[in-house]
Structure 1
Amino acid sequence: MATTLRTKVEQRIARKKSDVFLPKEFRDLGGNDQVLRVLRELTRERRLVRLGYGVYARAKISKISGRAMLASPNGFNGVARQALNKLGVKWEPTDAERAYNEGRSTQIPVNAVVNIKGRFSRQLRYGTSELVLGR
């Protein structure tokens, strides 16, 4: 019995340690359109969450609301940074985050903010959270 593209994509997602996936990671399995169709199906079934153009994250279903939520233990901040790394974008934490991590401040940065080095114009968002890009 031949395995379907969907089965191959699901198996690869299950094997990967990363919580973020780009369509190009599955291009060796099938054509771009077919891969995108499978990723959209998995998003509709709440197994993945779309963060932005060509960026998907592992999801789990909330026991409270029944909606898809990020499966990453680091939340949106963590998956946004993983996505930037996978997209090859050079970034660094903001001054406020560095001050908190070094113990120079007690204010916990709430929003996902990173300083971008170079060009990046995509938007990454999940629900009401959006990655804010500094320069």
Structure 2
Amino acid sequence: MTIRDRIQTRVKRSKRCVFLRSDFKDIADYDQVGRGLKKLTSDGLLMKIGYGLYVRTRVNSLTGKLMPDNDTGADGVLIEALERLGVDYTFDNLSSMYFSGKSTQIPANIKITPKSPRFTRKISIGKQRVNEV
């Protein structure tokens, strides 16, 4: 069984949808894991959303394009990625009012910002972004 196959079976069997490069360090060396992840990205099983961050994908039934395999959408993927990285985050004012129950207006776009100004890693899925202008 090749390294690519071992990474692929781990991704398919996992319950989570966001993967760090370090999740596969027990399979092979750093460079070999990188080549396997790059091959799976080009095959369409994974999508790179940031440095060392990958998300499992599926084909959108309406557009036929790849999208994150998560029921909560791009916002949920960004939240899961920040939690996997151990970063504290906040929502914008309108989103936090909706989540706390103070407002019934559903925000069109949720803006997620890290609490620490030292976190500068860029994470993006489509139009949803963290730390990008």
Q: How does 1:38-117 map to 2 (within 5 A)?
A: 38-117=36-115
CA RMSD of aligned residues (A): 1.8
SS in 1 for 2:86: coil
Gaps of 5+ in 2: none
Shift of 1:132: 5.5
CA gap of 1:90–1:103, structure 2 versus 1, over 3 A, is closer
Q: Which deviates the most, 24-33 or 86-95?
A: 86-95
Structure 2 match to 1:11: 9
Q: Which residue of structure 1 lines up, in the alignment, with residue 122 of structure 2?
A: 123
Residues 63-104 of structure 1: per-residue CA shift (max 9 Å, x gap): 333321111011110011111111111123333222112332
Confirm or deny: 8 A CA contact 2:17 2:55 kept in the other structure.
Answer: yes
**CA drift at 1:62:** 2.3
Q: Which range moves more in the overlay, 106-115 or 84-93?
A: 106-115
How many equivalent pairs are there? 131
Query: Is the 1:48–1:56 contact (alpha carbons within 8 Å) kept by the matching residues of 2?
Result: yes
Distance 2:62 2:96 in 1: 34
- Gaps in structure 1 of 5+ consecutive residues: none
CA distance in 2, matches of 1:21, 1:94: 26
d(CA) in 1 for partners of 2:127, 2:92: 21
| Superposition TM-score, scaled by structure 2 size | 0.87
Alpha-carbon distance between aligned partners in 2 of 1:11 and 1:121, rounded to the nearest angstrom: 32
